[in-house]
Structure 1
């Protein structure tokens, strides 16, 4: 429910705003401490319960190998899931505040050979109920298909709207997503910038939600990530699997990170940024994971990043296993690029950057699940519980919750 902006003298309003944000920060720290205590208690209980299993597996292999396997298929995932669940249970209702005057937004859409989907994306933009002015820029990155023609054919959708402007920005040759976004940033006429992918469809009230979340956030908040869900989940078993991954592995985790003002990825598919923060960060870096690296740059500069779970956009997910593998390879490479460029965040004494450490643990988790958990499940089906046993199953209820 939106909170109405109070009419106060500027100094008093600023003081009350700062007091409100300081109180929310203290509450976030308290929730973090409680969630961490519950997660550690769960992990200690898991270790105690698994001691006989750890001993037997150590006798069959090596004590260190047994400890590695159990740590990364049971203890660490269980700890992460317990922390996530406790944080979400303790999470307050999302705070939204309606601005006195709706700010104008510049929307950047990087497009390369998006003839099949760009028109539908523009139709979703034309149907938005945002009260403020929108500058919509389609940044055609040297497309060789009919992308530009589809954009021109969609100009009629915005012709009758005084506060809607559709601009096609063409390039003679393909330059890469980061470069066209930075060109769009130079052309952006407004202080708030929204990025969406050319295959992303927006819910009618999503921009209202993004702006209200940003307006209610601390003034040092540079970006708010929207909630991106799978729009083509019925296409194949690969998209159906991603539907649940986006719900749990992405949306729920972003909710948790947003509680602590440290959403690690303000994804290019749908996020809002303060233009001055983008300019200060140097815009999008010319890297595979440009949105990941940019978000970490903002965090390193001391900015906060949030998440608006009720600002919903629908993305077109890969429908084949090969497409999914290529997408996740890009994401993994982006994370590696961000770590290489911003390793100083690993020692930054900030609550909002602590979750970067979690990303480092996923390498060991993936190894343990690939080479121990999956073979362990096969053995368990044959009645041999060396690698996957009752303790492993304790992770599943937490993930389901």
Structure 2
């Protein structure tokens, strides 16, 4: 992208209209507010009918949770995506030295392939790879030694016997001397230009930028219908939230699977915390310092997603617990920047929305199946058009700006998309609610 468009027929330069981030923020809120006002107006009969069955306050509480707030948030997302313009790189071909940290526990089947893809990066700067074996009991170390011998990589191996990814990453951080450090999961494959683009983004940003989250996509979507559904979650759902947060300079999770950080910032806050959502709490600590976190859609990595419902529940309930850990440590009003206050406040009300969806919307859908439209009815469908619009914007952005630029193709997966749009939230909200309950009662942590 270029800031100016030059005419071939004359010397006039037509400048693109620049809209400040603050203007985009408040204008998107205004559009979302208008949508919510419209929703409230046309939902009056619904509210009246539901109030005749249960009390008015309880009826209002239900409708706020399953319609008004989700509608507002979707409208804000759509408006923000319309205004979003990824700033150009100042230098796409940086040569700064970087360190890649990989925490590995029993990854003998995947670690070599991860390193093979890492060795094929088109980045011209020096890449030092530090792998921290976190007490593996299989042949992980042997596979790392094999990669060190066969691949064109500068690999150093460290051992950390204390279990926990945060222990392993902090062990590696002690030995990092480069200005930037990248975290990479042991089962995640990098696109050949992934490091070049993520370094270019952090180098092209202002001094307040302390981290950039990479774009995570699914590599095992062909395994079964469950992974096909998750492919759309990463491609559309998670990516849209990341773009929204990146626009407002407060990406809430620089995920450990693939992100870059300024080494000095990591060391200043003491590295990764002892938390089940260590990357969430880490990011919020960075934001609390007044620093900013971006998202780079061109810095693509491919990860394996759970192939069974059991492992999916463990993963997403763990993410929900991590969000609660972050909220308990750093309240939204304690964040120094307005945008970050708002983005973390959304997380503060997510438990209420997931609870409402789980215990009101899903039972209401069952009632609607038998002809009782007390909770779920035509008014609730107002959220669906906005959802489809936001996904359409993101689909065309991902396809044109990301996939075409990286010479990738979007897989044909209509069934997965249909199931994702219609049923995915029916699973996600109960799973997230389960994660919140786990954290409240401090149940045993399960990483895998």
Fold-level match, TM-score > 0.5?
A: yes
1:198 and 1:293, CA in 2 relative to 1: closer, same or farther beyond 3 A?
Answer: same
- Higher mean C-alpha displacement, 272-281 vs 211-220: 211-220
Other-structure match for 1:367: 355
Describe the superposition over 1:121-164 as per-residue Cα deviations: whole angstroms up to 9, x where unpaired: 111101111111000111111100010011111123434xxxx4
1:47-78 Cα shifts (integer Å, max 9, x gaps):
00100100100111111111111111111111
Q: Which residue of 2 aligns with 1:186?
A: 174
Name the count of aligned residue pairs: 376
Matching residue of 2:435 = none
Structure 1 stretch 227-236 or stretch 55-64: which is displaced more? 227-236
Q: Deviations over 1:231-263 (max 9, x none)?
A: 112222322222222233311101011001100
Say if 1:346 and 1:354, in contact at 8 Å, map to a contact too. no
Greater mean alpha carbon deviation, residues 384-393 or residues 30-39: 384-393
- Between 1:212-221 and 1:299-308, the stretch displaced more is 212-221
Mapped pair 1:43 → 2:36? yes
Question: Are the aligned partners of 1:2 and 1:212 in contact in 2 as well (CA < 8 Å)?
Answer: no
Contact 1:143 1:174 (C-alpha < 8 Å) held by counterparts: no
- Structure 1 equivalent of residue 57 of structure 2: 64
Q: Please state whether the residue corresponding to 1:95 is helix, strand or coil.
A: coil
Q: CA deviation at 1:394?
A: 0.9
> Which of 112, 131, 140 is the equivalent residue of 1:138?
131
Q: Is structure 2 residue 331 aligned with structure 1 residue 343?
A: yes
- Structure 2: stretches of 5+ with no match in the other structure: 4-16, 390-448
Shift of 1:2: 8.1
2:100 corresponds in structure 1 to 107
Listed as ranges, the matches of 1:196-345 within 5 Å are 196-343=184-331, 345=333
Contact 1:261 1:304 in 2 (8 A): yes
What is the CA distance between 1:190 and its match in structure 2? 0.6
Unpaired runs of at least 5, structure 1: 4-22
Root mean square deviation, CA, Å: 1.8
Cα offset, 1:170, TM superposition: 2.5
Match of 2:383 in 1: 395
SS at match of 1:60: coil
Instruction: Give the Cα separation in 2 of the matches to 1:157 and 1:192.
Output: 26
- Counterpart for residue 55 of structure 1: 48
Distance 2:300 2:191 in 1: 6
TM-score, normalization by structure 1: 0.90
Task: Output the CA distance in 1 between the equivalents of 2:61 and 2:336.
Answer: 27
**Hey, what's the Cα distance between the residues in 2 that align with 1:346 and 1:70?**
30
| CA distances 1:188-210 after superposition (whole Å, capped 9, x unpaired) | 13110000110111001111111
Using the TM superposition, name which of 128-137 and 332-341 deviates more: 332-341
1:223–1:304 contact (8 Å) kept in structure 2: yes
CA distance, structure 2, for counterparts of residue 230 and residue 131 of structure 1:
27
Would the aligned equivalents of 2:94 and 2:124 in 1 still touch at CA under 8 Å? no
Q: What secondary structure does 1:227 align onto?
A: strand
Q: 1:94 to 1:235 in 2, by over 3 A?
A: farther
After superposition, what is the alpha-carbon deviation per residue over 1:71-105, rounded to whole angstroms, capped at 9, x for unaligned? 11111111111101110011113432216751111
Q: 1:55 to 1:105 in 2, by over 3 A?
A: same
Q: Give the Å deviation of 1:372.
A: 1.6
> Given that residues 135 and 189 in structure 1 are in contact (C-alpha distance below 8 angstroms), is that contact kept between their aligned partners in structure 2?
no
**Displacement after TM superposition at 1:174 (Å):** 4.0
